[in-house]
Chain A
Amino acid sequence: MRLKLHVWRQASPSDRGGFATYEAEASEHMSFLEMLDVVNEELESKGQEPIAFDSDCREGICGTCGMVINGRPHGPWKRTTVCQLHMREYSDGDEIWIEPWRADGFPIQKDLIVDRSAFDRIVAAGGYISVRTGSAPEANAIPVAREKAEKAMDAAACIGCGACVAACPNASAMLFTSAKAAHLNLLPQGQPERHGRVLNMILTMEAEQFGTCTNHGACENACPKEIKIEVIAMLNRDYLRALLKAG
């Protein structure tokens, strides 16, 4: 199939950037990123700079890839990262618009690559359980009810790709932050640091230029791991409790 691509090109953070148009030839068996690989090969062999985009595992787990395709983060498939999207979705003559995540918290570095280190800083603020290596008790001394463990795992499945932020009209990082908090707050091991964790993570999130959550729900729809918006409600409850306690 032949496609027309409109791709965001931006040489550096300070560059204004704009769309460039490319013709692409693709087979239905290719993945979306392989289609871009082929475009890049062609650009390189003509001595032109390839489109900068990031990806690593190409199987939906590392969270490295991410681009907005025709207005949708990670493209049209549900429960899918862009690296898992395949070209059989498209047909001959289609036009595709490809853009980076757009959010103040994620400054563009080049073309489709954005700086997501703000997520690291949110985790650093409290997204952990403190255990000095070697000081842990025997593993089965802390039984965890199966449903609890499963729910914690649902939240822990977040890959930190940032699609939730890209989808949110306010560019809020609430789904990401809540998912990490929920994972840890649901477990008995996470209780001692629960309040501090919630306060510090929210504080950092706000300081990192992410917008506020207005319960829009676009994040849940865009999440390739189907993290549920109920984790946000949980974080809000925890936040209130922590504030009361902090008095």
Chain B
Amino acid sequence: MELRSKVPSGPIDQKWTRHKFEMKLVNPANKRKYSVIVVGSGLAGASASATLAELGYQVTCFTYHDSPRRAHSIAAQGGINAAKNYQGDGDSIFRLFYDTVKGGDFRAREANVYRLAEVSNEIIDQCVAQGIPFAREYGGLLANRSFGGAQVSRTFYARGQTGQQLLLGAYQALMKEVQRGQVKLCNQHEMLDVIVVDGQARGIVTRNLVTGAIDAHLADAVVLGTGGYSNAFYLSTNAMYCNVTAAWRAYRRGAGFANPCYTQIHPTCIPVSGDYQSKLTLMSESLRNDGRIWVSKKADDDRAPGDIPEDERDYYLERMYPAFGNLVPRDLASRRAKDMCDQGKGVGETKLGVYLDFEDAIERLGADVIEARYGNLFEMYERITGEDPYRVPMRIYPAPHYTMGGLWVDYNLMTTVPGLYAIGEANFSDHGANRLGASALMQGVADGYFVLPYTIADFLARAALEPVPEDHPEVSRTLEDVRSRIDRLLALKGDRTVNSFHKELGRLVWDYCGMARNASGLKEALERIPELRQEFWENATVVGEGESINQTLERAGRVADFLELSEVMCLDALIREESCGGHFREEHQTPEGEAKRDDEHFTHVTVWEFTGPDSPPREHREPLEFEYVPPTQRSYK
């Protein structure tokens, strides 16, 4: 496997412009001769489909959802970053670039990040023109807020529903192209494999989730905008259906998988309440602007929060990080909460939680101000927990939220399989080892609207592809592979439910490859995951048939892939003998317990190559260079 990043030469602020000029164009009259498959209708997939169709390509867009509008992007709350500097507070493309590289703990590719910052402004223009009802100031101009500890106000938002509004914008643009006949939309279709012919991605195999039909679809290029894999942890803030299957199947067909151990744990989620828990709910990060985080100074303190006097409370973030207090970055806030619970100071019935208290803020600002700021979040919290956060402190706990790792792509967003692209959260992307708040939406739409449509043209113009006949042996073979795997799943008639395997796997990955990792735990996980996988293939039970809606079968395929991915996640975490961003290795910390990077040995992307079902994956490295933002140790003291 060869990793050529294809970063253009020249000064960083001219790379993208120059590259756009140097890339080949497809003659407008010829565009309709090219067909592109886009898998995914989230922000990345919908924006790419709509734009490619507008340009004249023939697009087919697949989603397992019953409507493209339901993709997980819909759930993003906080906002989207852009370097508009509307607030005149000193923001710039360079500052957004700088913050993102530093926030990623110096594990992202500089040129990609710069391009992301550069196109961020066009995104806002595009979205406003589409009618996205962003928050406005009284004068009618766009409002901003500061988000996730950024020192400038560069986040655009639509109440607490920014992802919803951005996705609806992209969805509407997509539906317009469906109406024009430029996009063929395939709802309720799950992609289960990539068809690779002569080393090039030439199509996919899908299962129609309603009829069970297995079909091959051919095209000149395939784009995966299939989201992240946080559900490897079973419990996460991701939607129930989010899964790694598309990316994983691509990996098994030769696409390198980069940095799988880089996962983000969000500090402010509603804690688990019981074994039946199906998913976790994120409480916006903005709550930390006014809420104070604390636990009792005493372990195993069973008193109600109101009965614990002020001097027996430990506002541990304020104590440890006087400069940033409750606003330290996500990874620190998460790890410290875990420490407190490990010391037996956790709160709530399960003891896996810490308080987020608004008492002082309500006293200082009044309940009405707090309601205006967080009313909808408080209501959401109360609905789930039955507790009133105006009177009782919220209980929060960290939860898996986002995956920085994903399919390796070059500067053109192409994976190591020619003709196969990955966009949005599905690629290993621009966030290095840690993503900043409000940057995932930015990246998803940047990829889909502004990057991929150019870079794919260059590929199509140069590739000189011959049409693939429908009865090509590779097509039949891939169809056969998919069919036999489904048959194998349907034949499982053991005595454990698929869900019980997913739960057990999630607990393993959370315990050993979650917020803090160490060599012995990871080795333990690396022994147990293959055992669990084997048990799955022997003892799981999949009821029902293949010819109609069968949600157990769908889940079984996804869990089977998580059982493979999580092993590579742990392997990746084991060999990365440093701490960086969301990857915290207990062996590598400063005396104060902070993450300690090892730039000398680990300034690279780790990329895994599939070598067969029974042999370990092969490790490759893409070295990273930092010309514009020299690596420094993060400090939030």
Q: List residues of chain A with CB under 8 Å of any chain B CB.
A: 11-12, 27-31, 33-35, 37-38, 41, 43-45, 47-50, 52, 54-64, 77, 80, 84, 86, 88, 109-110, 113, 115-117, 119-120, 123-125, 127-140, 142-146, 149-150, 152-153, 156-157, 159-160, 183-184, 187, 189-190
A152 pairs with B495, CB closer than 8 A? no
Q: Which residues of chain B have a CB within 8 Å of any CB of chain A?
A: 47, 50-51, 54, 65-70, 72, 74-75, 84, 86, 122, 124-131, 133-142, 158-159, 161, 164-165, 168, 171-173, 175-176, 178-179, 185, 187, 210, 239-241, 273-274, 276-279, 281, 380, 383-384, 386, 449-450, 453, 493, 495-500, 541, 543-544, 548-549, 551-552
Taking CB atoms, residues of chain A closer than 8 Å to B179 are 124-125
Residue numbers in B under 8 Å from A33 (CB-CB): 278
Cβ-neighbour of B543 out of A48, A130, A160 (below 8 A): A48
Partner of B380, one of A27, A59, A115, A131: A59
Question: Are A187 and B133 in contact, CB atoms less than 8 angstroms apart?
Answer: yes
Chain B residues within 8 Å of A35, by CB: 276
Cβ contact of A137, chosen from B129, B142, B544, cutoff 8 A: B129
A110 touches B495 (CB 8 A): no
Within 8 Å by CB of A130, from B84, B142, B176, B383, lies B176
The 7 closest A-B pairs by CB, nearest first: A143-B140, A128-B172, A136-B129, A124-B175, A153-B133, A136-B125, A124-B179
B77 shortest CB reach to chain A, Å: 9
Chain A residues within an 8 Å CB radius of B122? 134, 136
Most chain A CB neighbours (cut-off 10 Å) among B68, B84, B172, B498: B172
Q: A156 to nearest B CB, angstroms?
A: 5
**Chain A positions within 8 Å of B278 at CB level:** 31, 33-34, 37, 58
Residue pair A56, B70 in contact (C-beta under 8 Å): yes
Q: Is there an interface contact between B273 and A189, defined as CB atoms closer than 8 Å?
A: no
Contacting residue for B386 out of A41, A61, A86, A146, CB 8 A: A86
Known: A123-B171, A137-B129. A144 touches B140 (CB 8 A): yes
**When chains A and B are docked, how far (Å) is the Cα of A51 from the Cα of B138?**
50
**Residue pair B137, A128 in contact (C-beta under 8 Å):** no
Assess whether B67 is in contact with A160, with CB atoms less than 8 Å apart.
Answer: yes
B249 to chain A: closest CB distance in Å? Answer: 21
CA distance A137 to B273 in the complex (A): 49
Alpha-carbon distance between A130 and B273 when the two chains are bound, in angstroms: 46
Of the candidates B70, B140, B279, the one whose C-beta lies within 8 Å of that of A146 is B140
Asked whether, in the complex, the Cβ of B453 is within 8 Å of the Cβ of A59, the reply is no
The 23 sampled A-B contact pairs (Cβ below 8 Å) are: A29-B273, A34-B276, A43-B543, A52-B549, A61-B74, A86-B383, A88-B386, A109-B210, A120-B68, A120-B187, A124-B178, A125-B179, A136-B130, A140-B141, A143-B140, A143-B141, A145-B140, A149-B134, A152-B133, A156-B165, A156-B168, A183-B133, A190-B131
The 8 Å CB contact of A144, one of B72, B136, B500, B541, is B136
Asked if A27 contacts B276 (CB within 8 A), the reply is yes
- A189–B172 Cα gap in the complex (Å)? 14
Q: Which of B84, B171, B380 meets A139, CB within 8 Å?
A: B84
Report the minimum CB–CB distance from A203 to chain B (whole Å).
12
Known interface pairs A80-B383, A136-B126. Does A64 touch B65 (Cβ–Cβ under 8 Å)? Answer: yes
Contact for A27 among B74, B176, B274, B543, CB less than 8 A: B274
**A133 and B453 form a contact (CB under 8 A):** yes
Contacts of B380 in A (CB 8 A): 59-60, 84
Closest to A114 in B: B66
Chain B residues whose CB sits within 8 angstroms of the CB of A189 once the complex forms: 128-131
A41 CB, min distance to chain B CBs, angstroms: 6
Query: Do A120 and B497 touch across chains, with their CB atoms under 8 A apart?
Result: no
A11-B548, A45-B497, A153-B133 as given contacts; A62 in contact with B239, CB under 8 Å: yes
Most chain B CB inside 10 Å of its own CB: which residue of A28, A50, A131, A144: A131
Docked-complex contact A120 and B133, CB < 8 angstroms: no
